[in-house]
Amino acid sequence: MPELPEVETVRRGLSPVMEGARITRAQVNRPDLRWPFPPDMSARLAGTRVERLRRRSKYILADLDTGESLLIHLGMSGRMLISGDPLGIFAHEHPAAEKHDHVVFDMDNGARITFNDPRRFGAMDLMPTATADLHPLLAKIGPEPLGNQFSENHLIGALRGRNMPVKSALLDQKIVAGLGNIYVCEALFRAGISPMRKAGRIAEKRVARLVPIIRDVLSEAIEAGGSSLRDFRQADGELGYFQHRFDVYGREGLKCRTEGCEGPVKRIVQSGRSSFFCGQCQR
């Protein structure tokens, strides 16, 4: 499932072919994905110019010159493909249409953007740009982890008195937006905090340390995504997933990467999701 760095990578990949360009045709091949598409989506998009592509949590927002914004969520398996770009950035021919190509945008610069999503947990919606923050998917989410509002004081306040494991608290989108399973595991490893520790029982100093660690973990992944974008220009035109080296995620039974630590990485299941950690380094 794409997490924040993957979504940011998709946004950065789409930006040169979408920002400032007009959607000449929006082909919508089915009535819904996870939810029904908004009424007349194709007609409301056709002819509009994309002023800006931004990201909020794991959502991409395309602000249009009509005063509406298009919200895009990749869901579990959504991917974006770019083809036929005349700017010379992405030199890919338009591929033959595939079974799960649900929405296709043709841009006036010649680029075609195809949203393919086999599991159909993705979503698209249209809303007035002015009130986009009030959209049901966006209204209740907390501060962006890479933004200024995600401060040490914010996190200390948000975890104070909480009886839940810190892992669950960091996955709570109201506390911090867009943080998912992988990067929570990685951040807790780097902070030396056990995922099972109760959120309210961690010294404030250690909670404060988590803030720059979370930012670093995400920034490094976004950087890895950036390198993947450079490769992708010569590859198959698909955006969204990239190889990244993790310290604990997916490394059950392998040796901990901390120098001098002999501990194996362990995996436990918390709220139905795997937590990877080192029992020696994380307390």
Residue 99 annotated as catalytic: no
Q: Distance between CA 54 and CA 61 in Å, rounded?
A: 5
Nearest approach, Cβ of residue 176 and Zn ion (Å): 25
- Residue 14, SS3? helix
Residue number with CB closer to Zn ion (22 or 257): 257
Nearest approach, Cβ of residue 258 and Zn ion (Å): 4
Whether the CB-CB separation of 17 and 85 falls below 8 Å is answered with: yes
Residue number with CB closer to Zn ion (274 or 280): 280
Q: Distance between CA 51 and CA 264 in Å, rounded?
A: 49
Nearest approach, Cβ of residue 123 and Zn ion (Å): 39
Residue number with CB closer to Zn ion (93 or 259): 259
Residue number with CB closer to Zn ion (258 or 270): 258
Residue 58 annotated as catalytic: yes
Which residue out of 34, 120, 197, 273 is catalytically annotated? 273
Which residue out of 2, 16, 143, 165 is catalytically annotated? 2
Binding site for Zn ion (CB under 5 A): 256, 258, 261, 263, 278, 280-281
- Residue 9, SS3? helix
Which residue out of 55, 58, 112, 266 is catalytically annotated? 58
> Residue 151 has what DSSP assignment?
-
Residue number with CB closer to Zn ion (56 or 190): 190
Residue number with CB closer to Zn ion (85 or 186): 186
Give the residue nearest to Zn ion (CB): 256
> Residue 143 has what DSSP assignment?
-
Q: Which residues pair with 62 in a beta bridge?
A: 53, 70
Cα–Cα distances (Å) from 145 to 1, 59, 215, 236, 275, in that order, read 19, 14, 6, 31, 20
Residue 2 annotated as catalytic: yes
Close Cβ partners of 155 (under 8 Å, ≥ 6 residues apart): 175, 176, 207, 208, 210, 211
Residue 162 annotated as catalytic: no
Cα–Cα distances (Å) from 40 to 53, 74, 283, in that order, read 21, 21, 53
In three-state form (DSSP H/G/I as H, E/B as E, the rest C), the secondary structure along 171-235 is HCCCCCCCCCHHHHHHHHHHHCCCCCCEHHHCCHHHHHHHHHHHHHHHHHHHHHHHHHHHHHCCC
DSSP codes of every residue in 65-80 = TTSEEEEEE-TTT-EE
Nearest approach, Cβ of residue 192 and Zn ion (Å): 9
Both tokens of 216, joined, read 């670093």
- Residues known to be catalytic: 2-3, 58, 273
